[in-house]
Amino acid sequence: MSAFEVYPAIDLRGGRVVRLWQGDPEQEFAFSEDPAAMARHWLEAGARWLHVVNLDAALGEDDRANRAALAGLLRVADEYGAAVQWGGGVRSPEAAAHWLGQGVQRVVLGSLAVRQPQAVADLVQQWGPHRIAVSLDARRGRIHIQGWRAATEVQATALAADLAGRGARVFIVTDIARDGTGRGPNLALARSVAAVAGPQAQVIAAGGVWVLAHVLNTARAGLQGVVVGRALYEGTLDLRAALQALTDEGRR
């Protein structure tokens, strides 16, 4: 379990740290006006990555405040020797290249992966497989795009298999129906993605994480990471304790 990562989520809207219930912008819960301070808090607890989402861009809204916040987050991450995984509204190869050039360690692609899979392959070839993540956001196994507002007929496992064949190695699997519910991530779906993506794939589960058992079960399932948002902000999961529990279990 030494390679297993816990990714604290910092979802940005209007430059603030918020959470949306299952991606619904009408159900927003604000947690902090200071994203950089929030990032510092998680990094001091031991996180090595931050999962940052540009909700405004994902929803097609003005994201200038989030762009400014990202600059601060990158500075804080650099202080701690940590990395930023950045997604939300990155819908062109040019946009992906821009953010990677700005210091983001990994860019997360959702809509682009569905619409232009070859563009993802080209980015992987240019930047390396571990700097590009494919976001598989699914409801009943089918991919949703455009900030989860548009359903497609594309199966998450089919898209994962296709993109793995094109060189993609990092996949973030979210069951939309579990996001914000505390029911735990959909490990069956994540493991199905891992099975079709192959042994070189790095699969990260997201959506529904609420307690320590959810984190440990994700690691025990053979996945490589978990994204945690609401549970950290509402205190049902202690990040430092979770990281220690993973370390302890890895020593057994």
Q: What are phi and psi of 188, to 5 degrees?
A: -65, -45
Q: Is 24 a catalytic residue?
A: no
Q: For residue 117, give every residue at least 6 positions away whose Cβ sits within 8 Å of its Cβ, in sequence order, or none.
A: 159, 162, 163, 166
What the block records as the tokens of 136 is 């598989």
Give dist(CA 202, CA 150) in Å, integer: 26
Angle, to 10 degrees, between the axis of helix 117-127 and the axis of helix 156-165?
40
Sequential DSSP letters for 45-112: TT-SEEEEEEHHHHTTS--HHHHHHHHHHHHHHHHHT-EEEEESS--SHHHHHHHHHTT-SEEEESHH
Of the residues 34, 78, 122, 137, only one is catalytic, namely: 137
What the block records as the tokens of 96 is 């992906």
Q: Is 137 a catalytic residue?
A: yes
- By annotation, the residues acting in catalysis are 11, 137
